[in-house]
Structure 1
Amino acid sequence: MVVHTFHLAKPGLVTTVAALVRPPTSATVAGLHHAECMTPMRLGAPLFSPARWQLRRLAMIAAWEDESAIDEFLQRTRLGRALAAGWHVRLRFLRRWGHVAAFDDLPAVAGETDPDAPVVAVTVARMKLLQVPRFIRWGLPVERLVRDHPGTTLALAATRPWRTISTFTVWHSAREMTDMVHGRGAIAAPERHATAMVERRRKDFHVEFTTLRFTCIGEYGAWEGRTSIVPTKARAPTGHASR
């Protein structure tokens, strides 16, 4: 069974740049199907600020033949050991919307989603460079919506210059995630995401875009002093997410 992972680490500038320039591939790492290496960005941070561009940090989403291939990579490669010092989740794929060639081998639906169970969502986009100003205009309000949403326990963006943009979010429940997507929920201006999607349909920001939904099958390490970032079960409807 193919297993996906999402990693966050602080390996320093040299290792981060090396991974961006020459990310691991199926030809260089046994059992790896595909990997996207990026630098994390803080959602909603000013466009030109150190908080926005975290160049000494590394994010990677990857697809693997099985968990033994993940373990081998983390233990026996330089990049893997750098990532092992951070935080990662192992994920079982559920659903895919949209099209990015690197992920087109995934089916539209691979498993049922319990609306009350925690989920992990990843978006990956290849930008149209001339559309970046429009994307920023409509995207920043959405970033703040997701960042401040009571349904998320972790929300961040990541980029690989110059075209790849990604988001990674952990949700208390699939229901809260889909409510956000459709502009519902007890939060200020809940329509921000839905409005941006209307603008995207009017004139697309992307060459390719996909949204991937997963369930977490394992969490390892810590990020920013936090562990157990992925909930083990949905919270009560009246609860509040820990930030």
Structure 2
Amino acid sequence: MASFHLIRYAGVDAMRHMAFDRPLLRRTAGLSFWRLLGTGRGRSMSLGADLRRWALFAVWEGEPALEEFLARSPVAARWGDEAEESWHVRLAPLGSRGRWGGRDPFAAGPSAASVRRAGPARTAGDGPVAVLTRASIRPSRLVAFYRSVPDVDRELRREDGCLASIGVGEWPLARQATFSLWDDETAVTRFAYRAGAHRTVIGRVRGEGWYAEEMFARFTPYASRGTWDGHDPLRARRAE
């Protein structure tokens, strides 16, 4: 299983945690893959950075490993003590393709098979879906990529099926990602493949070789807690 954590601090000095948390995460038992991520100001990948808000994406060997981390890690303890706002969600992988830093995050450790099978059987109309997209952008394609971002961002803001979305990244400009929540798989497919700015960008990515590496993963989001920009987007969706 996996988890995503979005943490907003009171000041920009929170940047130091990006360095100091890494040794602690490397020593965390049962954590098979993780990335600390900065966040953008838009709903998709963007040039603007929010220096007060940071994220962690993590893949765990099982629920007990995540529970131990939340109960005992000084990283998780600081989220409770210092965060101005935080949102956490558990993710059951539905499928993925591609690599992140040369690795398949869901093929790490002894529980790889169970990680891939996690989550209930799904059909196009079943419940909310979380999507993680990640890319290493070739330096020669950076200008073209970022010129395409505003139109995609506007489409996301207008998309009824998108519950929430944020641009995240490991490294300024070239290693970017998005994490988004959707009403269901139908909404994801509609946004990805209908005519519009996003479909145009997908065509250019493939035709012009914008990415040196990419990954696309879908999850069933469950057991969320906390708030993201003042509310839990999954709880609001469940209350409808």
Using the TM superposition, give the Cα deviation of residue 76 of structure 1 relative to its aligned residue in structure 2, in angstroms: 1.9
Match of 2:188 in 1: 177
Using the TM superposition, give the Cα deviation of residue 215 of structure 1 relative to its aligned residue in structure 2, in angstroms: 0.3
| Aligned CA distance change for structure 1 residues 26 and 83 (closer, same or farther; 3 Å) | closer
Q: Is the 8 A contact 1:119 1:171 kept in 2?
A: yes
Match of 2:103 in 1: 102
Match of 1:227 in 2: 232
Match of 2:203 in 1: 198
**Which residue among 68, 75, 83 is the counterpart of 1:72?**
68
Q: Is the 8 A contact 1:43 1:144 kept in 2?
A: no
| Aligned CA distance change for structure 1 residues 218 and 33 (closer, same or farther; 3 Å) | same
Match of 1:31 in 2: 30
State TM-score, norm by structure 2.
0.81
Specify the code of the residue in structure 2 equivalent to 1:216: P
Match of 1:4 in 2: 2
Specify the code of the residue in structure 1 equivalent to 2:29: A
Q: Is the 8 A contact 2:5 2:89 kept in 1?
A: yes
CA distance in 2, matches of 1:208, 1:119: 23
| Aligned CA distance change for structure 1 residues 95 and 45 (closer, same or farther; 3 Å) | closer
Specify the code of the residue in structure 2 equivalent to 1:72: E
CA distance in 2, matches of 1:33, 1:138: 34
Match of 1:129 in 2: 139
Using the TM superposition, give the Cα deviation of residue 29 of structure 1 relative to its aligned residue in structure 2, in angstroms: 0.7
Please identify which structure carries the higher helix content.
2
CA distance in 2, matches of 1:32, 1:77: 12
Q: Is the 8 A contact 1:4 1:90 kept in 2?
A: yes
Q: Does 1:87 align with 2:83?
A: no
**Which residue among 153, 158, 162 is the counterpart of 1:143?**
153
CA distance in 1, matches of 2:78, 2:22: 14
Specify the code of the residue in structure 1 equivalent to 2:53: R
Q: Does 1:215 align with 2:220?
A: yes
Secondary structure of 2:33 counterpart: strand
Query: After the TM superposition, which residues 36-47 of structure 1 pair with which residues of structure 2 at under 5 Å, given as runs?
Result: 36-43=35-42
Using the TM superposition, give the Cα deviation of residue 167 of structure 1 relative to its aligned residue in structure 2, in angstroms: 0.3
CA distance in 2, matches of 1:124, 1:222: 24
**Which residue among 112, 117, 122 is the counterpart of 1:113?**
122
Secondary structure of 1:57 counterpart: strand
Match of 1:158 in 2: 168
Using the TM superposition, give the Cα deviation of residue 21 of structure 1 relative to its aligned residue in structure 2, in angstroms: 7.0
CA distance in 2, matches of 1:130, 1:20: 29
Task: Give the alignment's Cα RMSD to 1 decimal.
Answer: 2.8
**How many residues of Structure 1 are paired with residues of Structure 2 in the alignment?**
223
Q: Is the 8 A contact 1:40 1:57 kept in 2?
A: yes
Match of 1:241 in 2: none
Using the TM superposition, give the Cα deviation of residue 224 of structure 1 relative to its aligned residue in structure 2, in angstroms: 2.1
Q: Residues 73-111 of structure 1: CA distance to partner in whole angstroms, max 9, x if unpaired?
A: 22322222234551110000001133332325448x746
Secondary structure of 1:229 counterpart: helix
Q: Is the 8 A contact 1:25 1:34 kept in 2?
A: no
Specify the code of the residue in structure 1 equivalent to 2:90: R
Q: Residues 113-163 of structure 1: CA distance to partner in whole angstroms, max 9, x if unpaired?
A: 321121010111122223211111223312221232110111110122243
CA distance in 2, matches of 1:128, 1:46: 15
State TM-score, norm by structure 1.
0.80
Q: Is the 8 A contact 1:123 1:211 kept in 2?
A: yes
Secondary structure of 2:232 counterpart: coil
CA distance in 1, matches of 2:200, 2:190: 14
